[in-house]
Structure 1
Amino acid sequence: MNTKYFDLINQTFYFPQEEFTLNKDNLMFHNIDLMKLVEQYGTPLKFTYLPQISNNINKAKGWFRNAMEKHKYEGDYYYCYCTKSSHFEYVMNEAFKNNIHIETSSAFDINIVEKLLETGKINKKTNIICNGFKRDQYVENIARLLNNGHKNTIPIIDNYEELDLLQEQIKGKFQIGIRIASEEEPKFEFYTSRLGIGYKNILPFYRKTIAENPKVELKMLHFFINTGIRDTAYYWNELGKCLKVYTNLKKECPTLNSLNIGGGFPIKNSLSFDYDYAYMVDEIINQIKMACDEAEVDVPNIFTEFGSFTVGESGGAIYKVLYQKQQNDREKWNMIDSSFITTLPDTWAINKRFIMLAVNRWNDSYERVLLGGLTCDSDDYYNSEQNWNAIYLPKFNKEKPLYIGFFNTGAYQETIGGQGGIHHCLIPQPKHILIDRDENGILATEVFSDQQTADDVLKILGYTNNKQTNNKE
């Protein structure tokens, strides 16, 4: 009878897979022995496998290059990294090895851009696409970047007031884009995205404020929908409406030469994940070319802003099962040595699922369990794996420690969880390591941040701060 954990995985999914293999009883991730990491660094442990960032960037570049060659598409392709997915320097350092561009979301992003320029990670040829709702500090920072000579900075107009705010502070002529406020899927609680300007209002806005404006040059139309790039009637319908706006605008605006289709490539969240990236890119390029040919206008350069796709599949977390609680005749709780609220907040906040697998003991028999975190919050749990609506793991055995891994967690979790901050029930932030390979493929690891100590937490809370007082006589 097939009762081993390996048998369960093997008969449920295609296994092994590109990034997941086995070494006897232990799980390998990109040929990294995860149990060796556990032995060296302990748990709980977060890790970032840096080469995967470059791998995904270059995959996407290849898909767009092949589609453009196939359809004899005469525009260029620009890969932008969406910084809000992860602002960390180690992510930027790896991403910008690949001749890409950057998309910003808020004021402090511009300070990061300036640091990248200072250190030579990016240069004056790098396009800086400035998205988001812009208030005083963001506008001031964008203006500073342009006034200091970075002419490839393109603020994307999100509302009618922003253009005036920018013109007040930017010296000389500058380029802009306009974001389309896409219509949302029927399941949403609202009809139109809060971001951007409505389809029907873009051409009148251009005629009124941009067409005769000697200081502004419209370069880009920006399009993005919340559900991402998916092969659905909704996506293709919204793309079609966007292309209608683009071709009509292009006929009146000769400087318009770029279409930004935003982000939205999904990442692998299950061993049964099935998404044909090459087909989607091919069809997008085909649709854009057909629309432009029919309207008899030049095809635009294509910009994308992939964030989660860039960094998500580089991240992971490993926990130890500390104890098993049998709460009734049906429910067994495996308690991990950390908190989901602290380390994987999307599992708690938006019920997101990541790939979850046992790290060791694959040749042991399995059982159905629930996973609980260390906080005293009833919401600190993880209770279902994609496709199963349950979690199956090797049977708990106090004499044989069990370790479990969550994979493709590299986007948003550190920033939402608050790297280096205060966490729910004061559960400490785990140790985080960076994993890289040298030019010969030799693995190298380094500690990015140690697990928080009591002193770290008490300092943030104010208990050990050196408080200064001014005593006036």
Structure 2
Amino acid sequence: MKIKYSELIDQTLYFPTEEFNVSENMLQFHDIPLMEVIEQFGTPLKFNYLPKISTNIQRAKAWFKEAFEINDYKKSYRYCYCTKSSHFAFVLEEALKNDISLETSSAYDIDIVRSLYEKGKFDKTVEVICNGFKTDDYLAKISDLINKGFHNITPILDNYRELDKLTESIDSTFNIGIRIASEEEPKFEFYTSRLGIGYKDIIPYYSQKIADHPNARLKMLHFFINTGIKDTAYYWNELYKCLRVYARLKKIAPEVDSLNIGGGFPIKTSLNFDYDYQYMVNEIVSQIKKFCEEEGVEEPNIYTEFGSFTVGESGGHLYKIISQKRQNDREKWNMIDSSFMTTLPDTWAISRKFIMLPLNRWEDTYERVFLGGLTCDSDDYYNSEQHTNAIYLPTFSDTKPLYIGFFNTGAYQETIGGYGGVHHCLMPQPKHILIDKDEEGNFVYTVFREEQKPDDVLKLLGY
């Protein structure tokens, strides 16, 4: 008996979900008729569904609000968007509709802040947390904004020289934060993060350089670990070490009133994704509250810097299977009409997986396949968790085109892959569209950028 692809999904995955459903044998994403989108715009195609950005921001705010109420937490919560996850103007403009702050990581981010201000997207009260190692250019741009009246700009000190440079160029009182150099997981190649100042050095540094500073006021302690917010002994241990520094600081520096726990909320990479956001938020708030009560200090305002969580689940990539190659008795290669190295670089760079589903032919039989890109590189392929799990898709047919989609791809892929630039084997950047809703709830499609043309690439190369 031949089993349909839809039956395979029903037997092995949680489906349908809040994002996905099938109507008339075709996949829908947030009710977007994806095959109709392909008929209008073709493939390969990148899209961003803008309402999902606001939805995730409001979800996080609701989780923290509930946790604050449960734990009788007296201070405030502030959601920051981590701009490096996706610098696109449409992402920032959508996110800013939700009363948030911004987090920057380079001098070029400050140019984005200026541009958004000039477009009237916010006024000089906008709150910006400035992270990262700061070049002289970055420091100069931060100082310039503060001197022009942007008093909610908070540079987070990554090293000792940054305060000296800021002191030279800012002519008024300004706020600062300190980033803690957290210890990495044991499996890392190095022991301590290259970012920030060591746990043991923060109190002496405050006493010697900040306590009597004429203009700088320490307002924030910043904590972040690369592995994200997870219910692991490692995460809680690092959080407690951060809280110990906060409590010691608070006792000698009453002006310190905020704790930035960074980003790290995961996004869905599988239909069987299981992560209890509300539990983690409540546990974090509870532990901070309990620790501060035991230390006899006032609990801090809590800041987060969610990047991938904000924008990741808004993005998707759509492809057509243009051919199938059979290399031996067991391996069938379905070739997409693009390149993974160009459009989804994390799939080969860090073996990242995304949700992948066919867009049509759900009632057809299925087969096990590998997915290959069009470059000549052996790494230009996708195999869910490379070398581990299989991919199953409706059986290839020369007469019945098959389309597939990768979802929740909205963070980092364009900046890592080089948006609009030169790519491996000169694979073109695909057409990029934005999907929004009008006041009546109808989908609105806008072409953000057309597919890259050969002349565009040759010009970049000097031809």
TM-score, with structure 1 as normaliser: 0.97
Mapping for residues 338-417 of structure 1, pairs under 5 Å:
338-384=338-384, 389-417=389-417
How far is the alpha carbon of 1:388 from its aligned partner? 6.8
Question: For 1:378 and 1:446, how far apart are their aligned partners in 2?
Answer: 35
Q: Secondary structure at the match of 2:283?
A: helix
Cα-to-partner distance string for 1:6-28 (whole Å, 9 max, x where unaligned): 11111111110000000021100
Q: Distance in 1 between matches of 2:317 and 2:46?
A: 4
| Cα offset, 1:450, TM superposition | 0.5
Paired residue for 1:469? none
Tell me the amino acid that sits aligned with residue 353 of structure 2.
R
Distance 1:388 1:186, change over 3 A: closer
Percent of paired sites with the same residue:
68
8 A contact 2:351–2:385 mirrored in 1: no
What is the Cα deviation at residue 386 of structure 1? 9.0
Q: Does the 8 Å contact 1:211/1:253 carry over to 2? A: yes
Deviations 1:204-241 (A, max 9, x none): 11001001112110000000000000001110111011
The CA deviation string for residues 54-91 of structure 1, in whole angstroms up to 9 with x for no partner, is 00000000000110011111111110000000000010
**Equivalent AA in structure 2 for residue 286 of structure 1:** S
2: distance between equivalents of 1:378 and 1:439? 47
- Indicate the residue corresponding to 1:183 in structure 2: 183
Q: Does 1:211 align with 2:207?
A: no
In structure 1, give the amino acid aligned to 2:121. K
Task: State the partner residue of 2:7.
Answer: 7
Once the two structures are TM-superposed, the CA of residue 383 in structure 1 deviates from its matched residue by 1.6
Corresponding residue of 1:277: 277
Secondary structure of 1:181's partner? coil
Within-5 A mapping of 1:62-211 = 62-211=62-211
Q: Which runs of 4+ in 1 moved over 4 A?
A: 385-388
Paired residue type of 1:126: V
Task: Give distance in 2, aligned partners of 1:92 and 1:384.
Answer: 31
The CA distance in 2 between the partners of 1:119 and 1:278, in whole Å, is: 36
The secondary structure found in structure 2 opposite 1:137 is: helix
Q: 1:440 to 1:388 in 2, by over 3 A?
A: farther
* Alignment-mate amino acid for residue 310 of structure 2: T
Contact 2:352 2:385 in 1 (8 A): no
1:93–1:402 distance in 2 versus 1, CA, 3 Å: same
- Name the SS for the 2:278 alignment partner: helix
Whole-Å separation in 2 of the counterparts to 1:452 and 1:306:
31
- Given residue 107 of structure 2, which amino acid in structure 1 is its aligned partner? A
Do 2:262 and 2:306's aligned partners in 1 also have CA atoms closer than 8 Å?
Answer: yes
Q: Is the 8 A contact 1:45 1:432 kept in 2?
A: yes
SS in 2 for 1:265: coil
Q: CA separation in 1, counterparts of 2:106 and 2:157?
A: 13
Contact 1:224 1:262 survives alignment (8 Å): yes
Deviations 1:337-395 (A, max 9, x none): 00000000110111100000111100000000000000011111012259971110000
- Name the CA distance, whole Å, in 1 between partners of 2:331 and 2:44: 24
The aligned residue for residue 439 of structure 1 is: 439
Shift of 1:123: 2.2
Distance 1:307 1:334 in 2: 33
Name structure 1 gaps, 5 residues minimum.
464-473
CA distance in 1, matches of 2:61, 2:313: 17
CA distance in 2, matches of 1:386, 1:67: 38
* Letter of the structure 2 residue corresponding to residue 35 of structure 1: M
Amino acid aligned to 1:424: H
CA-CA distance at 1:41 after TM superposition: 0.4
Q: Which amino acid aligns with 1:102?
A: L
Cα deviation, 1:390-443, whole Å, max 9, x if unaligned, reads 110000000000001000000001111111111110111100000000122111
Partners of 2:139 and 2:217 lie apart in 1 by: 17
Check conservation: 1:52, 1:314, Cα contact below 8 A: yes
Paired with 1:29 and 1:75, the residues of 2 have a C-alpha distance of: 38
- The residue number in structure 2 matching 1:28 is 28
Q: Is the 8 A contact 1:96 1:121 kept in 2?
A: yes
Cα distance in 2, alignment partners of residues 120 and 76 from structure 1: 26
Alpha-carbon distance between aligned partners in 1 of 2:69 and 2:118, rounded to the nearest angstrom: 36
User: Counterpart in 1 of 2:427?
Assistant: 427
CA distance in 1, matches of 2:99, 2:121: 9
Amino acid at match of 1:61: K
Secondary structure of 2:180 counterpart? strand
Gaps of 5+ in 2: none
Displacement, 1:125? 2.5
- Partner SS state of residue 436, structure 1: strand
TM-score scaled by length of structure 2 = 0.99
Offset at 1:124?
2.5
- RMSD over equivalenced CA pairs, Å: 1.1
CA distance in 2, matches of 1:27, 1:377: 31
Paired residue type of 1:12: T
Q: Which residue of 1 aligns with 2:292?
A: 292
Q: What is the deviation of 1:457? A: 1.1
Structure 2 counterpart SS, 1:103 = strand
Measure, in 2, the Cα distance between the counterparts of 1:226 and 1:398.
45
SS of 1:311's partner is helix
For 2:126 and 2:230, locate their aligned partners in 1 and report how far apart those are by CA, in whole Å.
28
Change (3 A) 1:282 1:137: same
